[in-house]
């Protein structure tokens, strides 16, 4: 056991309680360096809590990992092939052949992202050679697991900027007021009343 396990456990409990009792979760991220390595610190907050999680990227996979209390490599993120996966794969426009191969390899299974990547590289190499489709498959599996897992409450209302990594995570997604205001600043009213 690591002598800092108590801190990770406490952070997970704060996150779980915070998401459970908040009407919304607000999130953002910032780049930083940790022991000379590039990292991204994610903040998740609500009315009664704030939790920081430093991970290797700002990707949707990292956001999902952070929202589930993850620490360390996002390759430890749990992913699943369940009742939501096929719909997500179709939404990401994976080919019939790739969807069939993923179904055959993973149907009904929960595994880690790292194991998923290894098995696809070994058993479905055609998909692994298509970087965009491969990452879309990872997102579909990760979102499927997140929607159905019960270890951590799922966020119902997410407030963030309009970065793509925050889409599809929660049923309701709103922009924080600073980012919402940017759209109004771009308007060029012509009628005098609108200019006022």
45-100 tens-digit pLDDT? 999 999 999 999 999 999 999 999 988 789 999 999 999 999 999 999 999 999 99
pTM value is 0.87
Residues in the chain: 196
Spell out, as residue ranges, where the chain has pLDDT lower than 50.
none
Six-digit token string for 7: 């801190």
Handedness of CA 30, 171, 134, 116 (dihedral sign): positive
- Mutual angle of helices 113-123 and 131-148, in 10-degree steps: 140
User: Could you tell me the CA-to-CA distances from 76 to 66, 111, 142 in Å, in that order?
Assistant: 11, 9, 11
Q: Which two tokens stand for residue 68?
A: 């589930």
């Amino acid at each position: 056991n690591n002598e800092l396990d108590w801190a990770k456990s406490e952070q997970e409990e704060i996150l779980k309680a915070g998401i459970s009792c908040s009407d919304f979760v607000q999130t953002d991220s910032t780049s930083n360096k940790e022991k000379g390595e590039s990292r991204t610190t994610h903040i998740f907050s609500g009315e009664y809590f704030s939790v920081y999680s430093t991970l290797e990227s700002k990707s949707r996979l990292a956001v999902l990992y952070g929202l589930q209390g993850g620490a360390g490599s996002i390759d430890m993120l749990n992913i699943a092939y369940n009742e939501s996966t096929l719909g997500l794969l179709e939404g990401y426009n994976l080919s019939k052949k790739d969807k069939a191969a993923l179904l055959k390899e993973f149907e009904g299974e929960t595994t880690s992202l790292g194991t998923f990547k290894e098995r696809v590289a070994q058993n479905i190499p055609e998909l692994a050679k298509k970087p965009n489709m491969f990452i879309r498959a990872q997102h579909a599996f990760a979102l499927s697991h997140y929607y159905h897992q019960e270890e951590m409450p799922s966020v119902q209302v997410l407030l963030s900027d309009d970065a793509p990594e925050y889409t599809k995570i929660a049923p309701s997604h709103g922009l924080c007021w600073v980012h919402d205001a940017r759209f109004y600043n771009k308007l060029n009213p012509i009628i005098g009343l609108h200019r006022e």
